[in-house]
Chain A
Amino acid sequence: MEKGQHVGMADTVLVKHPGKLISLGLGSCIGLVLYDETAKVAAMAHIMLPESRKDKDTPKPGKFADTAVPTLIDMVLKAGAKKDRLKAKMAGGSQMFNVPGSKSGFLAVGTRNAEETEKNLKSAGIKLVGSDTGGNKGRSVEFSTDDWILVVKTLGTGKQGI
């Protein structure tokens, strides 16, 4: 992949045009991008878990779906974006291991991450214009402000843009 800003686990990173955001090896985590094409800004979060614990502070708001969404909104608005122009794209949230009959519900955390991210976008009134979640394959994503396309790469099946 080309050079760009790497977004590590639980990070939130903002870029202004021309910029590129990259997250490698997403499994159950979600790579979520919010962007405004007119203001030419974009920000990505690498979400690990669906919900924050209300009784506990987290040093990294990108960690949870319910804290990442408002944080990203805040970041892009401060950088000049307008709320009603914001769009979202996301990828990830897979279930890496399929274990029949296992009592460990945590295997399905990817699905819950995707659902919770979608729910939080919806309640913030942000349009999800592209999404590639679920399944059982890991993904790498990159988002460029040149074309506002989220390129999703999987091992074995190649690349696709959403």
Chain B
Amino acid sequence: MEYNDFSPLHLDAIREVVNIGAGNAATALSEMLGKPVVMGVPDVELVSIYEVSERFGPPEDFVAAVYTHGEGTFPCNLIFIQDEEAAQGMVDAMFISRMNTDGRDFPPEMRDSALSELGNIILSSFLNAVSRMIGSESISISVPGVAHDMLGAILEFVASIFAQSGELALLVNTTLKLDQEGTDIKGNIMMVPDPGALEILLSKLGVL
């Protein structure tokens, strides 16, 4: 199945999956930070793979990303991506909630480890919800990898995954945001299925 064969029904089903996954992730993040987290409406759209790396901002913008690979019934790549500043803000919030310090004096490795744990919790909660939806027990996720780098370079990785199967990318992403005044700390979850995996998801959902 090529991505241009996807119908509005398929895209709606995927949007619903993302909605439930992100809701679960928002709850987990909120518990972790001891603060309310709000989620945005999921974006699900088909775009040319060649436009992916410039779609969310200038390619040289400095971002932080946490990556994991989900394995099992629905193999997919999950990325939690934020402005570098927002990522540091979220790490602060986690240290404040857990240890009563913003942890700014801690070595970068320790802050990175906290960021990777945040990403891990968000992405595994997301995938758990998806896994429950499709009645699968066998989804496991890899150890998270963290990158602090150019937005374009991270998104190129996403584009390359879709490039293996054709000319279109199915961009699936949702915003999670800390709900407090005077801050704009947010991040995005992107779900990038391995080639062929979306068909499995859609058929498990009964729409294929």
Contact between chains at B163 and A49 (CB < 8 Å): yes
A63 adjacent to chain B (CB < 8 Å): yes
A35-92 with Cβ < 8 A to chain B:
48-49, 59-60, 63
> What are the residues of chain A within 8 A of B154 when measuring CB–CB?
27, 96, 138
* Closest chain B CB from A102 CB (angstroms): 4
B103 adjacent to chain A (CB < 8 Å): no
> What are the residues of chain B within 8 A of A48 when measuring CB–CB?
49, 156, 159-160, 163
CB-CB nearest in chain A for B149 = A138
Cα distance, A63 to B49, chains bound together (Å): 10
- Chain A: number of interface residues, binned into ranges: 35 or more
B161 adjacent to chain A (CB < 8 Å): yes
* Closest chain A CB from B125 CB (angstroms): 19
The proximity string for A residues 87-105 relative to B, scoring 1 for CB distances below 8 Å and 0 otherwise, is 0000000101111111110
CB-CB nearest in chain A for B76 = A104
A137 adjacent to chain B (CB < 8 Å): yes
Contact between chains at A25 and B164 (CB < 8 Å): no
Contact between chains at A138 and B153 (CB < 8 Å): yes
Within 8 Å by CB of A138, from B150, B161, B164, lies B150
Task: Give 26 CB contacts A-B under 8 Å.
Answer: A24-B58, A25-B150, A25-B152, A25-B153, A26-B153, A27-B153, A28-B156, A28-B157, A29-B160, A49-B163, A94-B153, A97-B67, A98-B145, A99-B67, A99-B68, A99-B69, A99-B144, A100-B143, A101-B142, A102-B142, A103-B142, A106-B194, A109-B157, A138-B150, A140-B59, A155-B60
